[in-house]
Amino acid sequence: AQKVTQAQTEISVVEKEDVTLDCVYETRDTTYYLFWYKQPPSGELVFLIRRNSFDEQNEISGRYSWNFQKSTSSFNFTITASQVVDSAVYFCALLNAGGTSYGKLTFGQGTILTVHP
Amino acid sequence: NAGVTQTPKFRILKIGQSMTLQCAQDMNHNYMYWYRQDPGMGLKLIYYSVGAGITDKGEVPNGYNVSRSTTEDFPLRLELAAPSQTSVYFCASKVGAEPGANVLTFGAGSRLTVL
């Protein structure tokens, strides 16, 4: 069975601080995908990134960066120079690529990020 | 391009009432899903479907039923509403099983309160 753990329930920072959201996953599959979603106060789920298990290259997109380490089963998300608009709930999720997974995502519990002005 | 449309956005039910949450997608996606989101618990899969006429249980199916008579629609039915079903419900879809097509598109959510 697969599992995703986001150990930080809530994080509070002041604008312009850097913040890292942790994600640790468990899976027996060798081929899988990891995701981050953002849920702003309006409630919709916004896709941020997808990573497959064979690509450990870190990725940067503007102020967002992701660090994927298979050795520690972690897929951490860093926001540099945080802004108030980054305030949201962030979810890490796992998808096994096997034929019987049918695209079912396993979500972590979510991390509530609050960025204060 | 509407994507995934959920109705209603909000609903209050009394214990024991029944209702159907509607989900429709216009992207010709084969795979559709229903998740529920409880505070501090992330999203849990209720039911999913890999095509018209094919549905299967997810992690938390008790108290719910689904049907998939068309590719576009995937309604979720609550037969006897209970307070434990108070939650935000998300419908999602994706093209199919291809590894390159596994980014889900989510609806805006339906907030259900059972009193």
Per-residue pLDDT of chain B (115 residues), as tens digits, is: 679 999 999 999 999 999 999 999 999 999 999 999 998 788 999 999 999 999 999 999 999 999 999 999 999 999 899 999 999 999 999 987 676 667 889 999 999 999 9
**Chain A interface residues (partner B, CB cutoff 8 A):** 4, 6, 9, 31, 33, 35, 43-45, 47, 50, 52, 91, 95, 97, 99, 102-105, 107-110
- CB-CB: which of B41, B43, B94 is closest to A103? B94
User: For the stretch A51-86, what's the b/e string if a residue is b when 16 or more beta carbons lie within 10 angstroms of its beta carbon?
Assistant: bbbeeeeeeeeeebbbbbeeeebbbbbbbeebeeeb
CB contact under 8 A, A44 and B109: yes
pLDDT number for residue A116: 97
CA A37 to chain CA mean position, Å: 6
Chain A nearest-CA residue for B110? A43
Give the C-alpha separation, B115 to B55, whole Å. 29
Mean pLDDT, residues A29-55 taken together: 91
- Residue in this structure with the two tokens 């998808």, named with its chain if needed: A95
Which of these, A18, A21, A40, lies nearest to A92 by C-alpha position? A21
Give the C-alpha separation, A44 to A114, whole Å. 17
Q: Which residues of A touch B45 (CB under 8 A)?
A: 104-105
Rg of the Cα atoms in chain A? 14
> Strand B10-13 and strand B110-114: pairing?
parallel
pLDDT number for residue A30: 87
- Cis omega (within 30 of 0) on the bond before B8? yes
